[in-house]
Structure 1
Amino acid sequence: MRQLHHRPIRARGTFYSAAKRSLLFTTCLGIAAPAFAEESGLAIEEIVITAQKRTESSQSVAAAITAIGGDELSKTNFNNVADLQNIAPSVQIGESFGFAQIMVRGVGTDNPFVGGDPSVAVHLDGVVIGQPSAQFGSLFDIERIEVLRGPQGTLYGRNATGGSVNVISYKPTPETTGYARLTGGNYDLIKFEGAVGGALSDTLMARAAVRYTNRGGYGTNLVDGSDIDDADQLSLRGQLLWEPTEDVSLRLAAEHHEEDDRNYIPKFRGPSYDPAPLPALEPQPTAGTRATDPRDIYSNVNLQNKRSQDSFSAELNWDIDETFSLTSLSNYQTFEKIPQADFDMTEVDFYIWSESYESDQFSEELRLNFESDRLRGLIGAYYYYEKLDSDNRLDIPLVPQFVADSTPVLSGCGFDDNVSDQIVGADPELLCFNFRGTSKTNAYALFGNAIYDLTDTLSVNVGARYSYEKKEGDTDRWTAPGAPVLTFQDEKSFEKFTPNVRLEWRANDEVLVYAGYSKGFKSGIFLTGQTTPVLDPEIVDAYEIGLKGMFMDRRLRFNAAAFYYDFTDLQQGRSVPAGTSGFTLVYENAASAEIKGMEMEFTWLASEHIRIDGSATYLDATFDDYVTTDPFDTVFQQLGLIDAGVDLSQQLAGNRLVQSPKWSGRLAVTVDHEISDTGWLAEGTVAVSYKDQVYFTQFNHDALAQDDVTTIDANVRFSSDNGWSVNLWGRNLTDETIYVGTFILNSSRTNAGFLAPPRTFGATLGYEF
C-alpha cells in the first residue's frame, strides 16, 4: 500500500493493518503524530503505537511517549539516533570517540570506554542494541521511532533507568510495495536508500532494504589534505515473514552495517581550562601545530574509523485464543570496530591511540500477552549474554614510517594484524600504554505488567521485575611507562526487585490524567582493560504525573508531564593521569543525585493548511552528594603548583549532571498547498530548536561545556499522486559550531572536542510504489 501525498495537512497519512495476530503499524507524520481529517471536518487523529507490547492509541497510554514517523524522518535527511535530540523533548545525545551518549531527562551514560551499559536502551524491532558504539548504526527503512521517557523494565527484556528508543522497521506485506530515494548535498554527499517487498507465495512474504552513504569530510587533516569526519557507510536488511495459519507467524531478519572512513575524530578544542588563580597549562607537545578551525586537525597519524555490525533475529508469534498470545524473540549480533586517532592533534610524533573492540551478544525474550474485558497485560522471561574484548593502545612513537602511498604511519608497540594494519613494528624502548581485557555479562529477568479497569474511567497499572546479573572480567595486560605490568580480575553478581504502579483516570473521551511511581535498576559495570573493580548498580526512584489530551474539537493535542527522580549510586566516570602523558579511567558511584523537571509537547492544526508543532523542557538535574577529585588538580599537584599535602577532594553537591540542559525546546511550522489540477502537493516546514548550556564534566567547567545554542532546520517537499517526490532540505542553517562531547587528556593538558555537523543542505528525489 503506497502512501499518497496529494492531500492537504488535515487529511494526510494512512496506516496498514496485517492479519489479526500481527501488530498494527502506522506511518506517523509530524513531531508526535500526523494530522488526519475526519469526515466531519478538521481534526487530529490519534496514533497507533506498540510501546506497551500491544496495539493502542498513543493518547491512551499513560506514559511520556513521542512517536516520529518514517515520512517525517526522511524529510530531514535522518541518519541515526543522534538526529533525534531536537525532535523529542528531554532528549540530549552526545558523542565521544563514536560512543553514543544518549540522555533522557538527565539520565544516561557519558562513559567512552568498553564495558559500560547504556542507561537509555535502543531497541530495533524489539531487540536491544547492547553497546553505546553500536547505537550509532544507520537507521533506514524505518516506519516509526518511539521515544519512551522514564525507567523501563516491566515491558522490555533489557531494563533501563533513563528510557527506551524503540525503532520499528517496515515489515513484509502481502502487497508489493517499495521506494527509492537518491540524495545529493553539500560536502559531496551522495546517499541512496531503497526497499522492496511483497508476497513470495500465499503464506510467505519478504522485504529487502539498503542504504549507502558517501560524504566528504566536515574537516580536513591539514598535514596531507585528507578529509576527516567524512562518511562511507553501507547498510543492508532482509526479512522473511511466514504465516502458515491465521494464528501463527514467523519473522526472520538479518542486518549488516559497515563503515570505513575517518569519522569520530577528536579535534583540538583548546588548552586545559584556567582554574584561577593557577595558570593554564600549555598543551603537550609544546612543539607542533594545532588547527585554528575547530573542524580541522594537524596529524601525521593514519586516522581511521572501521566498523562492522551484524544482527540475526527470529520472532515467533502465536495467537493461542481470544485471550492469550505468545511471542518468542531470539537475536544474535556482533559488533567490531578499529578506530585510530591522534591524541596530541599535531604533526609531531607524540601520542597515538588505537583500539580493537569486539562484542558478541545473544538475547532471548519469551512473552505471554493476555487481554480480557477489564484486565490486560503481559508476563515475560528474558536472558541476555554479552562478551566484550578490547585492546587499547596509547603510544608515543619515536620514528615515523611510510607505506607505499606515502601516508605517514607511526611505529607502535607491536600490534597484531587483527588490531590495526596501519601500525607496524615494535620497539621496547617506546613509551607504550596497553589496556587489554575481556568482560562477560549474564543477565536473567522475569517481568510482568497488568492494567485493571477499576471503573469505566479509572484504571490501575502495576508491574514488577526481578533481575539477576553477573559481571565478570579480566584485564590481562595493563601497562604504562615506568610501571610494572598489571593484571586484574573481578566478578560480582546483582539482583534487584523493581516495581511500578500507576493510577490512570480518563476525565472524558479526550483527556487522560495519570500519576505513578517506578523503580529503575542498572547493573554494575566492569570496564575492560581497566583496573577499576566492578561498580555497584545505580538505582532510581522515579515519580511522574502527566496529562494527555485532545482539545478544540481535536484540532489541538497537548501532552505534559512533571517528574522527580531520586538517584543513588549514580555511575560516573573520569580520566586520571597514568604515567608520562597517559591516562586511565576511574569509574565510581556518586552517592546521590536529584532530578526535577517538566516537559510538554503539542500539535495544533491552526487551519486546513497550517500545522504548528512544539515542545519544551525544564530540567533541574544536580548532584546531592558526590565527593571526588578533579583530575586536573592531580596534574597541578604533580607539577608542584599545589602543595603535596593538600587534600584534593571536593564536594560536587549542587553541580549539574553532564549533558543536562536546563531549558530546551522546539517550534515547527508546516504549511502545505495543493497545486491546482496537477496532482502535486507542496509542503514546507521551518523548525527552530534551542538548548541551554550543556556541561561535559561533573566539575561544571565552562571551558568544557557547550554554550546555549539555537538552530534552524527547514525543508520544502513536492509530492505527487503517482509516487514521485522532490524534497529540498537544510539543517543547522545558521552554521552553528556545536560541541556534542569533550574529552580531557589530563597529562597532555589537552581539551579535545567532538562536533555536531555544520550547515548541511541538499535535495532528495524519491519514488514510492
Structure 2
Amino acid sequence: MHDADQNGKIRQFSLSTLSGAIAFATAISGTAYAAEIEEVVVTAQKRAENLQDVPIAISAVTGDNIKAMGVKNLTDLGKSTPGVEMNNDTPLQPTYNIRGIQTSDFTVGSDPAVAVYVDGVYNGRGAGAEVPLADIERVEVLKGPQGTLFGRNATGGAIHIITKKPQADDTTELSVTAGNYGRQSADLLVNRQLSDNLYGRITASNNRRDAFADNLAGGFSAGNQDTQTYRASLLWEPTADTEVLWRADYGVMDQGSALRTSIVPSLQAIDGGTDVFGDYALDTPTIEDRDSFGTSLTVTSDFENFTLTSITAFSKFDSHLQQDEDGTANPDYMFGSANFDEQEQFSQEFRLNGATDRLKWTLGASYAQEKLEHVTDAYFTAGSLESFAVYEGVKAAYENAGLTTTELEDIAVQTRQGMIAGGLEGAAVATFVYDLMVQSGQADQLLAMFGAPDFITASMLDREQMAAQLMAGITPWVMADTPWNESVTNTGDYRSAAIYGDFTWSLTDKMDLTVGARYTADEKDFTIQSAYQNTLPLALTGGDVDVLDPNGNVIGVLPIPAVPAGVIPAQPFGMAFNNNGVADLYQELDDSWSDISGRIVLDYRWNDDVMTYVSLSEGFKAGGFNSFSAAPGIDPSFDQEDVTNFEVGLKSSLFDNRMQLNTAIYSYEYDNLQELDLVGAPIPNYYLRNADAEGQGMEVEVLWAATDNLMLGGNYSLLDTEYTRYEVLTAAGETEDDSRVGQPRVGTPENKFNLMAEYSLDLASGANIVLRGDYNWTDERVGTISDPSRVVEDYQLMNLRAGWNSASDRYSAALWVQNVTDEEIAGGYGGTGAAIGASPAWRYMPRMYGADFTVRF
C-alpha cells in the first residue's frame, strides 16, 4: 500500500499553505468598493428559483465557473464539491458518492444510488452518464434523498446537468487547448436566430491526450484520452405562451482505459521495480469505447393558472470496456476483464406547475423503460489460477495473524515463486481441485471408476497424496500458462412508473411548509447466462494412497492406477454440465418493487437575506439481481434500499449580497444498502448484498465578493458514516459480520475542504486579466470494502489559472496548471485483481499544464 513514508511526501493539509492563501488574498484585496454576488437560478424543485430561496442543500456551478476551474467532467467537479466524491478512473464505470451514499456495481443488475439527469432526462446507466461539460449552463448537485421530485435511484442525491439553450442572437465561438502529454482539444459553438421565433445551436467538442506513463511491456497504452461530442438543439416559440425545445447529442469515445498498477511489492519487483506512480507493465490491452446517442423534446405551455411541461426522451449507447485487473505483465497473474454494454431507454414525463398568493404546487407523472444487454468476459491463465489457489492457502494459513491484505498478497507471491523454484508448479491448483471434487462428490465417482470399495470415500484418502496424483496433468497445464476464459451474459427489461405531488403553503409571510410524496412502481425482467467452456487436464500419476481414519491414522492403502490426461472426464470446479460437456447456467428472473417516498420541509425567512429550514426526506432505490449467481448460497436478487434523512439548514446573503453563507447539518438512516463485495466460496465473485448504515455530517459553503476585483470562496464538509448491519456469505450461509459493524463506508473521507481566490484586473486598454487559484484537501478514506485497513491517504491539490480577455471580448487566452505541486495521489485500491492476490491501484493525473485560446465571431 502506498503511504506517506514510502514517497516522502506528507499528504496532509498544511497550515502554512492556508496562511499563504489568506496572505495572498489580503494583499491583493486592497480597499476597492465591493461588488454583489451574481444570482444563480436553479430548478431543484422543478421550477426556476434563486438558489438562496431553495430549502435544499445544493451546490450549483455555472458554466463560466466550470471553465474557470478547468473542469472537464463530473469527476473533476466532485473534487471541489463538499460532501461529494466522484473518484472515477474510467468514465464507463463511474461511481458518484454523495454524503457517503453510492452503489459500486459495474454490471447491470442494479441501479445507481445517485441519479444523473441531463436537461431533465434521467440517465439510467453509469456508462452513459459521464459526459463532457462543454457549453453548459450549470450543474446542480442536490444532496440528500430526492425521492419526491426526482424519484427512484436518488437515495444519495441527484446531479442535474443543464446545457445551454439556443439564444436569440448570432454567435460563433471557437476554443482550442494545448498542453503537455500531447493534450489537444477544441470546442466549436454556433448559435443562430433562424427566424423571428426559431433559434438553433450546435456544439462540437473533441478532447485528446496521450498516456502520462509508459508501458514497459510494450504494445499498447493506458490512460490516454480521445473523445468527440456533438450537440444540436432547436428552440421554437410558436406562440407567446408555448416553447418547443428539441435536443440531440452524439458522442464517440475511443481510448485506452484506466491505468491500474500493482501495489504488491514482490510483484512490482518482478515487473522491474515499477510502482503505482512510475511506468507500468500490463499485458491486457486497455480499451474504452463508446458510441452514444440521445434526443429529447420538451414542450412547455403556460396557461392562465398553471404551466404544463412534457419531456419525451430516447437514448442509447454501445460500450466496450477492457481492463488489466492485476496491474502486471506477469503471465502467472494474468487477469483481464471486458464489459460489453448495449442499452436503450425511453422516458416520458408530464408535469403541471402552478402558484397562487399562498400556494405553489407541482403535480407529475412519469414512465420509463430500459432495455439492456451486458456481457462480462474474464481472461485468466492456468498460471493465474495457480496464483489464486496459493493466495487462498496463504489466507487460510495466516487467518489469525493480523496481517494486512497487502502483506498477505506479498507472502503469496513469495510462496508462489518458491514453489516454482522447488518444482511444485501446479500443486496449489491440484489441491484446490481435489478439495472441490470431494465437496461435489466427483472424487467419489472417480474412485468408483477405479473399482475402489464402496466404504472408501475420497474424504478418507490422504489429501496431499491425492493432490500429488492430480499433478500429472495439472503441472504442465499450469507451466504453459494455458488460457482460461469465462463469460457471463445478462439481459434486462426494466419498467418504472410514478406519480408525484409537491405543495408549498405560505403559512405566514415568513414561514413556508412543503409537503410532497411520490409513488413509484418498478418491474424488472432479468436473465443470467454463464458458459464456462474450460476443461481441466486431469490425469493420475498412479501409486498407493493412504486411507485414513477420522483421527488421521493410516488404516490401509488404496492402489491408484496411472491414468493419462483425457481419459478422466475433465469438469471445471465441480459444476454441472450440459450434453455438450459445457458447464452452464441460465436463469430467467423477474421481480417488482413499489414505494411511497416523501418530504416535509419547514422554512422560515428571518428577513430578506436569511432563511433557515428543517426537512425530513426519503429516497428509494429498487431491488435488483446479482449478475453472477453461480456460487452456492447466493440469492440472485436483493431487496430495495431506503434512506431517511433529517436536515437543518441555513441560507444567507449578507453585507448587501456581498457574501453568501450556506450550511447544512444532517443525519440519515440507510436500510438495505446494496453493497458490492467480493464474496462467495469456493470461487469468490462480486455480489450485491443488503446491509444497513447511518451517517451524520455537515457542510458549509462561503462565497465573498471582497472587492470589485476579488472573489473569495471556500467550503468544508464533515462526514461520519458506519455500517450498523453487514452480512457475508460463509460455508454455512448468510451470517452477520460484526467486524464490519462500526466501520466507515468505502470512499467517504471524514473531512474535506476547498479554497478559491479569483482576482480580476482591468487594464487601461479595456482588456481584463483574471487570476484564479483553487486548493483542495481531502482526508483519508477506506479504499476497499474487503479490507477496511487498506486506506487511501489524504491528499491536497492546487490548480492555478491566468486568463486574459480583450477589450472587445472577441479574444480570450489563458495559461493553466493543474496539480501544481505534482502530488502523487492514489485514487483507490483493490478491485477484481484482489481475487488472485494481485490488488492494483489507480492514480490521479500528475502535473498538467497548457494554454487555452478562444475567438468569438
Change (3 A) 1:289 1:474: farther
After TM superposition, give the deviation of residue 467 of structure 1 in Å: 0.7
Aligned-partner Cα distance in 2 for 1:152–1:768: 39
Matching residue of 1:569: 672
Matching residue of 2:45: 52
| 2:298 paired with 1:315 | yes
- Match 2:345 to one of 349, 361, 368: 361
| 2:848 paired with 1:760 | yes
Determine helix, strand or coil for the equivalent of 1:764. strand
Matching residue of 2:712: 612
| 2:801 paired with 1:715 | yes
Change (3 A) 1:105 1:515: same
Matching residue of 2:106: 112
- Match 2:328 to one of 335, 340, 346: 346
| 2:788 paired with 1:701 | yes
Determine helix, strand or coil for the equivalent of 1:75. helix
State whether residues 112 and 153 of structure 2, in contact with CA within 8 Å, keep that contact through their aligned partners in structure 1. no
- Match 2:689 to one of 568, 588, 608: 588
After TM superposition, give the deviation of residue 344 of structure 1 in Å: 3.4
1:378-393 mapped onto 2 (5 Å cutoff) = 378-393=362-377
| 2:161 paired with 1:167 | yes
Q: Which segment drifts farther, 362-371 or 128-137?
A: 128-137
Matching residue of 1:224: 218
Aligned-partner Cα distance in 2 for 1:346–1:726: 42
Matching residue of 2:606: 507
State whether residues 119 and 161 of structure 2, in contact with CA within 8 Å, keep that contact through their aligned partners in structure 1. yes
Alignment TM-score, normalising by the size of structure 1? 0.83
Matching residue of 1:373: 357
Determine helix, strand or coil for the equivalent of 2:706. strand
Which is helix-richer, 1 or 2?
Answer: 2
Change (3 A) 1:766 1:394: same
State whether residues 276 and 843 of structure 2, in contact with CA within 8 Å, keep that contact through their aligned partners in structure 1. no
Amino acid at match of 1:519: E
Change (3 A) 1:80 1:546: same
Matching residue of 1:673: 761
- Match 1:622 to one of 722, 747, 757: 722
Percent of aligned pairs sharing the same letter: 30
Matching residue of 2:378: 394
State whether residues 365 and 383 of structure 1, in contact with CA within 8 Å, keep that contact through their aligned partners in structure 2. yes
Instruction: Report the structure number with the largest CA radius of gyration.
Output: 2
- Match 2:242 to one of 228, 245, 248: 248
Change (3 A) 1:650 1:41: closer
After TM superposition, give the deviation of residue 173 of structure 1 in Å: 1.4
Determine helix, strand or coil for the equivalent of 1:100. coil
Aligned-partner Cα distance in 2 for 1:628–1:452: 47
After TM superposition, give the deviation of residue 494 of structure 1 in Å: 0.6
Aligned-partner Cα distance in 2 for 1:649–1:51: 39
Matching residue of 2:288: 305
State whether residues 149 and 518 of structure 2, in contact with CA within 8 Å, keep that contact through their aligned partners in structure 1. no
Matching residue of 2:402: none
Matching residue of 1:495: 594
Determine helix, strand or coil for the equivalent of 2:72. coil
After TM superposition, give the deviation of residue 118 of structure 1 in Å: 1.2
After TM superposition, give the deviation of residue 554 of structure 1 in Å: 2.1
Aligned-partner Cα distance in 1 for 2:112–2:164: 26
Aligned-partner Cα distance in 2 for 1:746–1:41: 55
Q: Deviations over 1:265-290 (max 9, x none)?
A: 4322326xxxxxxxxxx769x97667
Change (3 A) 1:488 1:530: same
Change (3 A) 1:757 1:429: closer
Amino acid at match of 2:94: A
Matching residue of 2:56: 63
Aligned-partner Cα distance in 1 for 2:694–2:757: 35
Q: Aligned pairs, how many?
A: 674
After TM superposition, give the deviation of residue 253 of structure 1 in Å: 1.1
Determine helix, strand or coil for the equivalent of 2:199. strand
| 2:193 paired with 1:94 | no
Determine helix, strand or coil for the equivalent of 2:624. coil
After TM superposition, give the deviation of residue 396 of structure 1 in Å: 2.7
Change (3 A) 1:700 1:477: closer
1:655-666 mapped onto 2 (5 Å cutoff) = 655-666=743-754
After TM superposition, give the deviation of residue 302 of structure 1 in Å: 2.9
Q: Deviations over 1:618-652 (max 9, x none)?
A: 101111122336xxxx8xx9xxxxxx999994431
Matching residue of 2:697: 597
Amino acid at match of 1:343: E
Change (3 A) 1:319 1:646: closer
Amino acid at match of 1:521: F
Amino acid at match of 1:189: R
State whether residues 376 and 487 of structure 2, in contact with CA within 8 Å, keep that contact through their aligned partners in structure 1. yes
Which is strand-richer, 1 or 2?
Answer: 1
Aligned-partner Cα distance in 2 for 1:338–1:695: 29
Amino acid at match of 1:623: Y
Aligned-partner Cα distance in 1 for 2:199–2:734: 70
Amino acid at match of 2:510: T
Matching residue of 2:739: 651
State whether residues 93 and 740 of structure 1, in contact with CA within 8 Å, keep that contact through their aligned partners in structure 2. no
Alignment TM-score, normalising by the size of structure 2? 0.75
RMSD of Structure 2 on Structure 1 (CA): 2.6
Amino acid at match of 2:321: P
After TM superposition, give the deviation of residue 442 of structure 1 in Å: 0.8
Matching residue of 2:503: 450
State whether residues 261 and 326 of structure 2, in contact with CA within 8 Å, keep that contact through their aligned partners in structure 1. no
Aligned-partner Cα distance in 1 for 2:735–2:309: 57
Amino acid at match of 1:228: A
Amino acid at match of 1:549: S
Determine helix, strand or coil for the equivalent of 2:243. strand
Q: Deviations over 1:554-576 (max 9, x none)?
A: 22110001000011111101123
Matching residue of 1:551: 654
